[in-house]
């Protein structure tokens, strides 16, 4: 303990403290350090990554979800997961792929008529303006089924899926060009562009790789398939890509790993692909001018239409000086363009070096038509050495690179060495290495691949976690490790286990660039952004029948579904349009029909469509699947499916006791009395809020708006209650009055939260002594009986210092020795009233002094309690 | 900054430090606190929840995933998510619901022939022995589609789904009885037990609630449906349940919220359910003897068979003194039995009180047949007051309870007040309140509902997070907040956003009670635990054809799939059995066929079956979806689907340059040389490991086993290489030699990790000065050029102190002023060799002294580098 203390103190105090001072330490932090075995540096790392409640992160990371087919969102530096976004895999929490509207998005991803219900997401990309992230759109590719999806960052929902019509797989996407004009997507495993069988013996002749240059409209955030084209490439297994920027803008770079064109055959005694595909010392970096080729693609004579999609044949690209090859080290993984666009860094994962290419040198060779030869497909090859700025030995298994704002500073992942290496791609010097756990694939810098890297942190996306976490079975979580790069030396701060999916790449953006909304315009189809044809406002709920077609227009609001009963015939085609009428932030409702595999999730303002054939007879409850209010269980109804060919006989009625008119009247009066009492509480809160100018505090004003939203529904219910009463239906009147009470509870729920927020905002500042006093008051257990502003198991202490002569002295002495005052007439009266004696809590004089300061602060703010 | 320092120091040092000492503080922690705006208490909270890399959590939490249909696993106190377990929703990362074997589990959950592809998981339960958690099995219910699932805690996989044959929804499950004899599952929304339509007008007569008592066999971890039964209950909307324990063992308790039997009708002008279902001041707690009823259920005359399932009618239960009702406060949520089994705490969410029932009093009234009446269904009602130990006013919206090891101490969630309240259910006193953010539903103590609560922490499962986290769109994460309950006063430690799903309840267990394995017996069907019919060992890979039926027996191992080519005819029925041959921990492989919606995930030793009709012609790559080794991209092959009715013509061969025999020989020799060099590196590592008795360190021994696993595959490849060479096929020999190199890389990957682990374990202990020196060495940038044990951009420094006369003095002076020695002949030679001058890094004398100590330590351990 002494040792651990010394370490902490030296951290905090520099070296000013001597061991003799330290030996007296008894503080809470050193106790926790001892108990949890934390070192001094652990505490600093904890402080660097800990977010107190309500504190938000500086960066937001978007990580692919691998085979989960989803996108993962988390915050930095807290490394807390914020959201999984459904992209290629149906996900019921979001309702994604369950309601008809999101199903339409998911089904855009059908391939040759086949439904695909998952994906292997690999490389997320953020939209760019001038090469910098603009926080508007997010793209992600599916390696398993060559597709690209677009996510809207105003609501973090998937809006479009585009199938690649000629590729049979896709690894090297998605990459935005610097003004989001295009998205690059490269094939992985070479295959015929058409959909026919071609023998593997014809691999070199019929199998092809390529890069698809999707046209993207950044205004509407959609890919425009018929303005897009694919560059045909040899079957070299194209891998990752990057778009040029700055001086290399207009160009694209794609590497490859099977220039051997090996096709395996382990089953017939051949060495496996892993041996044959890594035989050569070099593969090919593909360099192409997507800007020029895009213009060429507009002219039909330059393209071949395959599966109704424009393909620019290799010879056309070559003839137009738009496609070149440069040897690159064996089986590379990453190709990363630096923020200026001049340098292109390629790491060959089976080579210990990183290779830094200089675009100026590449461009010069191209301009001079200085080639060392052509590949078998006629593509000019540039001399590797002449295009290189240089090479640096980094270690075993270098893969990917990220940049920092420091000139020339670059971070590279080493898969086999399980390290991140910091080096300088200009001076070609290694600067630092950091161990990670284990087998890092990609790594993510803060905007580290944009034209404007932010530095501060690097995240290691590790593929194995083996011994890092509590064992949760043979399938381990993955491990994203946050590394502080702000100092001279990298420092591993914290591990984040990934509970679902195998992320491949992640991109990070400054949180301040994101501006998502919290609700939709009422009745929005969130997938199109337009008004939903099923939009239904309060009062418009209805069931329409047209033969066997039944359309239900339903609404959801805390805490009821309208309608509460839907009766259809077996065999009917039923469409339910549902609108979430809420305006309050975070008031999502769900809707499910039990046993019918029907489910939706609706954010405030959203409308969805559910569609089904009522093919099973019976009674099926439906309900809101969100814990949306205290009465959430009661937010339900019944779907009843009758068989039109059956005769149903009503059961004999159970005899139930009926209430007499007198009993009903008594209940009615009681209900009214409860409502009046509840309302007066609400009115006092309203007065408090108004008196303290709640409008001036946005967070409070929003809550009040939500509370009033509930409260304003009361007159309508009151009208109904009075109407029933007038007609003599006291029972119904009671129920409507009860509904009013429910609305009051919901008003109070939010209203009290608003009041508490306001108190914190408007109270006078506590002195240090008063703050200590509040803690002593709580830790001493005083708050067990005394609630400030309220009579609880003991008297309200607001004004207690004024209540007695020499109040401070009286109260102090009473706390220190309550038993001496048990016969004091006032105390005696209190003991009788509460049936409880104030106990001696053994506070010391200092604590009592502080509590007095706290009580003074209470009195200063008495109007707030 | 001074202020923040004072706060920290006072925390650490108690009150020993004076402000004058403090004013000199310049430590790193206070810098971080200032930058991140952290208070002293924030730092303590950070330290209480921070896990340094590799440190494991003390508790593991299993949380329902709500509408995600999954189960969520996380650690305490780190609040890091460890796993999402697929339960009712298909999940491709785990392959759950994608391969045929897991599909079988998922399809056990079909209802009346309908596939259900999601669930609304609510209440997880851990299996018990003597009322204590035993860490063996986990059960979870689906509210939307009344089902129970069983998860095996040896591999965290779902093994069974059981559909409730009579319920139409299910909220109050799952709850284990104290020796896991049964699992209780109560209905929620009353509905007819049969599958027919019954008019809502016949609600009281035909709609029913109930509790199903599932028989569970804790040895095999499976529900035994035909030894299970359901207790018929009135249509009161049964809600949560709990099993008795200790003195109440054999009994069950289930509350309800619609004893009004209101059935809504908002669409016909009636007040909504939320008003009608909360009209009465009390609802009914159902008390039943499941032990007695289980015995009764064995006799057919006591049961009615409905949908082939045993139902005990209410009158049979009543006649046998096994079913009773007690009034309970309005619309309750939780019913929680204390660790002794004597007290049952019920919170009425629309009442501000908690009610504490005393089972001794209940039992006495039952024994004396002292009832206040009967309900309309003839069930005896006990007097509420006479069964109560007492009631306590807690606040607005009390819901659920958790216990601690302190006698009488209980924690209750307050939904409307957004608080956790700590009180004593014996003395009926409120002790403390803690604000949470916002609208807490359940709360989870550490084994807080078992017979042996552990205390320490409470987790608040909040339904809203509104302003807590970075905005990620209208659908917000939920918020689980960790509260320290070890002190007098609760202390909110940290927020964990939930990125997917809406958890309802969570249960926590001491991590030391869990013993999951990390691999399976080779060829296991993990869903049955038995050997898979498709088990395939290395060398047994084959493709078998029988007419249109094709069976492929395939294997996966780093980094190849065997076979690499599968050719079938269009229309064939294809079954692929795949076995993951790995023995290494965490070496999961995936398998997908592109565009065919086929996917599997296999942990080490697992075998799965994929099944499909080859209905689309073409060429479809397949690959391993895990980043399983540096060569993972090469782990691929092709499915080729030929149309038997088409004629295919081979393409004209592309002319490729052939290598001459001399060139081939040169490449062969080079390959052999590379392999020999790589092998000598491996041998030096092996020698090091042996010399340092690696076997004595389990973690290292495991890694070595994995490395040797790779290495031992070499002789077989060598044999093939030599065979090819003998036959004059030099090209093939090169490829097999290349395969040997791949195996060497994989050996080195793991072997180097083993060596690094061993170095840390066997090196002599560093002195404090040497440790400081190592930091200075790194922070000073020395490690940019000098790698200990290796010549890098500068000389290896192992032995540097011996290398020069008066070595310590020489090295010290060289570090302090390198420029003075640039003409020293030795230094000059080094400058020439490395083409680099040792720069002045401006270290101070203290740092240099420490570095010397570090270099001494290096020399002490020279054999390790």
pLDDT of residue B11: 45
Q: Taking residues A111-127, what's their average pLDDT?
A: 97
Do residue A781 and residue B488 have CB atoms under 8 angstroms apart? Answer: yes
A681 — pLDDT class (breaks 50, 70, 90): confident
The distance of B42 to chain A (nearest Cα, Å) reads: 6
Is the confidence at residue B13, as pLDDT, over 70?
no
A777 — pLDDT class (breaks 50, 70, 90): confident
Nearest CA in chain A to B202: A651
Tokens of A756: 């508490």
Quick check: B630 contacting A, CB < 8 Å?
A: yes
pLDDT of residue A731: 92
Is the confidence at residue A17, as pLDDT, over 50?
no
B445 — pLDDT class (breaks 50, 70, 90): very high
Quick check: A195 contacting B, CB < 8 Å?
A: yes
A vs B: CB pairs below 8 A: 769
Report strand pairing: A573-580 vs A549-557: parallel
Nearest CA in chain A to B13: A25
pLDDT tens per residue across span B342-357 = 999 999 888 889 999 9
Q: Read out DSSP for A54-82?
A: TPPPSEEEEEE-BTT-EEEEEEETT--EE
What is the b/e burial string over A410-437, where b = at least 16 CB atoms within 10 angstroms of the residue's CB?
A: bbbbbbbbbbbbbbbbbebbbbbbbbbb
Tokens of B455: 């205390």
Can you tell me which residue has the tokens 């942190």? A457
Quick check: B167 contacting A, CB < 8 Å?
A: no
Alpha helices in B244-328 (DSSP H): 273-276, 290-297, 314-319
CA angle at residue B297 from B163 to B130, to 5 degrees? 80
pLDDT of residue B771: 86
Q: Which of A63-77, A807-821, A823-837, A842-856 has the highest mean pLDDT?
A: A63-77
> To 10 degrees, what angle do helices B28-36 and B40-49 make?
100
pLDDT of residue A427: 95
Q: Which residues of B touch A66 (CB under 8 A)?
A: 93, 625
Is the confidence at residue B597, as pLDDT, over 70?
yes
pLDDT tens per residue across span A120-131 = 999 999 999 999
Q: Is A90 exposed, middle or buried (0-12, 13-18, 19+ CB in 10 A)?
A: buried
Quick check: B13 contacting A, CB < 8 Å?
A: yes
Alpha helices in B368-455 (DSSP H): 384-387
The distance of A247 to chain B (nearest Cα, Å) reads: 31
pLDDT of residue B865: 75
Q: Which of B81, B114, B473 sits opposite A597 (nearest CB)?
A: B114
pLDDT of residue A605: 96
CB B12 within 8 A of CB A5: yes
Start-to-end CA span in chain A (Å): 44
Q: Taking residues A557-565, what's their average pLDDT?
A: 95
Please give the share of chain B, as a percent, with pLDDT higher than 90.
Answer: 76
Q: What is the CATH number of domain A59-264+271-513?
A: 2.130.10.10
When computed from its CA atoms, the radius of gyration of chain B, rounded to whole angstroms, is 34
Quick check: A604 contacting B, CB < 8 Å?
A: yes
DSSP code, position A792:
S
Is the confidence at residue A244, as pLDDT, over 70?
yes
Which residues 6+ apart lie within 8 Å of B684 measured at CB? none
Separation between Cα atoms, residue A459 and residue A508, nearest integer Å: 9
pLDDT of residue B864: 77
Is the confidence at residue A78, as pLDDT, over 60?
yes
Q: Is the dihedral of CA A616, A620, A624, A626 positive or negative?
A: negative
The distance of A134 to chain B (nearest Cα, Å) reads: 16
Q: Taking residues B831-842, what's their average pLDDT?
A: 81
pLDDT tens per residue across span B94-109 = 999 999 999 999 999 9
pLDDT of residue B391: 95
pLDDT of residue B839: 83
Q: Which of B470, B603, B745 sits opposite A474 (nearest CB)?
A: B603
pLDDT tens per residue across span A463-501 = 999 999 999 999 999 999 999 999 989 999 999 999 999
Quick check: A212 contacting B, CB < 8 Å?
A: no
Can you tell me which residue has the tokens 């951290």? A11
Dihedral angle, C-alpha B856, B695, B716, B559, nearest 10 °: -70
What is the b/e burial string over B667-682, where b = at least 16 CB atoms within 10 angstroms of the residue's CB?
A: bbeebbeebeebbeeb
Do residue B265 and residue A518 have CB atoms under 8 angstroms apart? Answer: no
Is the confidence at residue A1, as pLDDT, over 90?
no
Prediction pTM value: 0.90
Query: Smallest Cα–Cα separation from A754: which of A698, A712, A713?
Result: A698
Least confident of A823-837, A839-853, B240-254: A823-837
> For residues A434 and A8, which has the higher predicted lDDT (pLDDT)?
A434
Q: Taking residues B740-753, what's their average pLDDT?
A: 87
Number of H helices, E strands in chain B: 20, 44
Q: Which of A810-814, A828-832, B221-225, B811-815 has the highest mean pLDDT?
A: B221-225
Do residue A465 and residue B586 have CB atoms under 8 angstroms apart? Answer: yes
pLDDT of residue A625: 95
CB B524 within 8 A of CB B532: yes
> For residues B11 and A190, which has the higher predicted lDDT (pLDDT)?
A190
User: Counting every residue, how long is chain B?
Assistant: 865
Number of H helices, E strands in chain A: 20, 44
Q: Which residues of B touch A278 (CB under 8 A)?
A: 631, 634, 738, 742
Q: Taking residues A391-420, what's their average pLDDT?
A: 95
Q: Taking residues B622-646, what's their average pLDDT?
A: 94
Separation between Cα atoms, residue B93 and residue B626, nearest integer Å: 10
Please give the share of chain A, as a percent, with pLDDT higher than 90.
Answer: 76
CB B486 within 8 A of CB B502: no
pLDDT of residue B829: 86
Do residue A376 and residue B778 have CB atoms under 8 angstroms apart? Answer: no
* CATH class entry, domain B768-864: mainly alpha
Edge-to-edge strand ranges of the sheet holding A506-510 = A81-86, A70-76, A59-64, A506-510
Start-to-end CA span in chain B (Å): 44
Q: What is the CATH number of domain A524-642?
A: 2.60.40.420
Q: Which of A278, A474, A650 sits opposite B518 (nearest CB)?
A: A474
Is the confidence at residue B4, as pLDDT, over 60?
no
The distance of A506 to chain B (nearest Cα, Å) reads: 15
pLDDT of residue A282: 93
Q: Read out DSSP for B38-51?
A: --HHHHHHHHHH--
pLDDT of residue B293: 98
Report strand pairing: B560-562 vs B549-557: antiparallel
């Amino acid at each position: 303990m002494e040792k651990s203390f010394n370490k902490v103190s030296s951290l905090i105090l520099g070296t000013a403290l001597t061991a003799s001072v330290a030996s007296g330490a008894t503080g809470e932090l050193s106790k926790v350090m001892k108990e949890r075995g934390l070192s001094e540096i652990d505490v600093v790392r904890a402080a660097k990554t800990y977010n107190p409640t309500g504190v938000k992160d500086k960066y937001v990371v978007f990580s692919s979800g691998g085979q989960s087919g989803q996108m993962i969102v988390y915050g930095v530096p807290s490394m807390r997961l914020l959201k999984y976004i459904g992209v290629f895999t149906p996900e019921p929490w979001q309702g994604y792929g369950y309601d008809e509207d999101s199903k339409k998005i998911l089904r855009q991803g059908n391939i040759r008529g086949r439904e695909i219900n998952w994906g292997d997401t690999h490389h997320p990309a953020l939209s760019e303006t001038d090469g910098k992230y603009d926080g508007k759109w997010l793209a992600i590719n599916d390696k398993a089924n060559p597709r690209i999806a677009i996510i809207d960052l105003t609501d973090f929902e998937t809006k479009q899926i585009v199938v690649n019509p000629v590729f049979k797989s896709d690894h090297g996407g998605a990459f935005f060009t610097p003004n989001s004009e295009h998205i690059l997507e490269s094939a992985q495993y070479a295959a015929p562009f058409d959909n026919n069988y071609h023998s593997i013996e014809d691999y070199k002749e019929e199998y092809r790789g390529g890069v698809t240059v999707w046209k993207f409209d950044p205004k509407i955030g959609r890919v425009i398939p018929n303005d897009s084209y694919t560059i045909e490439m040899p079957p070299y297994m194209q891998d990752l890509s990057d778009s040029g920027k700055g001086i290399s803008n207009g160009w694209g770079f794609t590497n490859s790993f099977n220039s051997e064109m090996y096709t395996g055959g382990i089953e017939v005694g051949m060495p496996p692909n892993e041996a044959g595909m890594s035989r050569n010392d070099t593969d090919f970096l593909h360099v192409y001018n997507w800007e020029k080729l895009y213009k060429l693609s507009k002219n039909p004579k330059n393209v071949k239409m395959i599966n109704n999609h424009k393909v620019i044949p290799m010879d056309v690209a070559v003839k137009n000086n738009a496609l070149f090859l440069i040897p690159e080290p064996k089986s590379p993984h990453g190709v990363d363009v630096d923020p200026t666009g001049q340098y292109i860094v390629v790491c060959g994962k089976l080579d210990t070096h990183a290779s830094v290419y200089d675009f100026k040198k590449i461009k010069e060779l191209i301009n001079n038509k200085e080639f060392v030869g052509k590949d078998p497909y006629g593509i000019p090859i540039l001399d590797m050495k002449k295009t290189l700025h240089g090479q640096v030995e980094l270690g075993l298994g270098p893969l990917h690179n990220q940049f920092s704002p420091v000139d020339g500073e670059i971070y590279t992942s080493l898969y086999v060495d399980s390290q991140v290496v910091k080096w300088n791609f200009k001076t070609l010097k290694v600067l630092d290495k950091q161990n990670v756990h284990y087998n890092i694939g990609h790594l993510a810098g803060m905007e580290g691949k944009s034209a404007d890297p932010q530095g501060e942190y690097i995240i290691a996306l590790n593929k194995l976690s083996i011994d890092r976490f509590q064992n949760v079975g043979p399938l381990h979580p993955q491990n994203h490790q946050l590394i502080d790069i702000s100092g001279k030396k990298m420092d591993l701060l914290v591990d984040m286990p990934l509970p679902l999916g195998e992320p491949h790449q992640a991109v990070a953006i400054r949180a301040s660039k994101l501006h998502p909304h919290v609700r939709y315009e009422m009745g929005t189809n969130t997938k199109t952004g337009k008004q939903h044809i099923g939009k239904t406002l309060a009062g418009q709920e209805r069931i329409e029948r047209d033969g066997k077609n039944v359309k239900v227009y339903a609404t959801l609001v805390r805490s009821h579904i309208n309608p509460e009963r839907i009766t259809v015939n077996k065999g009917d085609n039923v469409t339910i349009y549902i609108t979430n009428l809420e305006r309050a932030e975070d008031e999502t409702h769900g809707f499910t029909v039990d046993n019918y595999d029907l489910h939706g999730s609706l954010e405030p303002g959203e409308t969805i469509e559910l569609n089904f054939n009522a093919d099973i007879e019976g009674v099926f409850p439906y309900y809101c699947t969100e814990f949306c209010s205290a009465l959430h269980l009661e937010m339900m109804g019944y779907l009843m499916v009758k068989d039109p060919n059956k005769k149903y006989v009503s059961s004999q009625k159970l005899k139930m006791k009926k209430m007499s008119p007198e009993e009903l009247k008594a209940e009615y009066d009681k209900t009214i009395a409860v409502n009046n009492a509840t309302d007066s509480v609400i009115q006092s809160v309203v007065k408090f809020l108004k008196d303290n100018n709640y409008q001036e505090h946005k967070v409070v004003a929003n809550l009040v708006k939500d509370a009033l939203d509930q409260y304003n529904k009361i007159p309508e219910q009151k009208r109904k209650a009075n109407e029933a009463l007038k007609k003599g239906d006291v029972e119904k009147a009671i129920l409507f009055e009860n509904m009013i009470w429910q609305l009051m509870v919901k008003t109070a729920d939010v209203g009290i939260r608003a009041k508490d927020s306001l108190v914190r905002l408007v109270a006078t500042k506590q002195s240090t002594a008063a703050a200590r006093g509040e803690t002593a008051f709580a830790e001493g257990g005083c708050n067990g009986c005394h609630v400030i502003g309220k009579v609880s198991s003991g008297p309200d202490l607001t004004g207690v210092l004024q209540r007695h002569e020499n109040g401070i002295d009286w109260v102090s002495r009473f706390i220190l020795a309550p038993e001496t005052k048990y016969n004091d007439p006032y105390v005696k009266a209190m003991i009788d009233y509460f049936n409880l004696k104030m106990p001696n809590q053994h506070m010391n004089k200092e604590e009592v002094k502080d509590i007095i300061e706290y009580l003074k602060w209470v009195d200063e703010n008495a109007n707030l309690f």
